[in-house]
Amino acid sequence: MTCIVGVQQDGRVVIGGDSAGVAGWSITVRADTKVFRNGEFIMGFTDSFRMGQLLRYSLVPPVPQDWDLDRFMATEFIAVVRDCLRDGGFARNESGNESGGLFLVGIRGHLYRIDSDYQIGRSVDEYYAVGSGDEYACGSLYSTRGLDPQHRVRQALEAASHHSTGVCAPFHIISSDEVYAPDGTVRAP
């Protein structure tokens, strides 16, 4: 149970997450955050704190080259994520079907959703919300289009927390350091 929210807007990515650690009917406010920076990447995870720890501390992500970012994410990035989760004992394999977990990734002005089957996704809406509060957060994100992306992420997390028992403050929000033009070049913030 959680809520992770990401917005891709004006060449920048902002990702935020709540602090709930839920087990059955019990909730713990976790000191370790669900959003973090790993090299050039910003990430936010749901599912398991173990998966998040592996992505944060064990994953050594490759550096994107000057080619198609979607292709890079679907091939090179996912290959190292799969190895990391498998080596860390998190990836599951049932009847030959390997699965990981659900998380958001921001890289070079693009927001990606990585699903448990390791597919990458990008939304034409330029936002995602995942976890138990995702529907409330998506409603908020839709209604705040055009506003500051950090404000949008905070509002979405507050809406999810208000309506979902599996989402709680404090909220942690991070943003990409650089701003990217549509052609992929870095522009001044």
The two structure tokens encoding residue 78: 């996912």
| Per-residue pLDDT at 134 | 97
For tokens 């992770």, name the residue. 4
pLDDT at 189 over 70: no
How does pLDDT run across 112-127, given as a tens digit for each residue? 999 999 999 999 999 9
| Per-residue pLDDT at 116 | 95
Domains contained in the chain, CATH given: 3-187 (3.60.20.10)
Handedness of CA 64, 79, 13, 169 (dihedral sign): negative
44 three-state secondary structure: strand
Return mean pLDDT, the chain: 93
pTM, two decimal places: 0.94
How does pLDDT run across 14-67, given as a tens digit for each residue? 999 999 998 888 889 999 999 999 999 999 999 899 999 999 999 999 999 877
Q: What is the DSSP string of 89-110?
A: T--EEETTEEE---EEEEETTE
pLDDT at 188 over 70: no
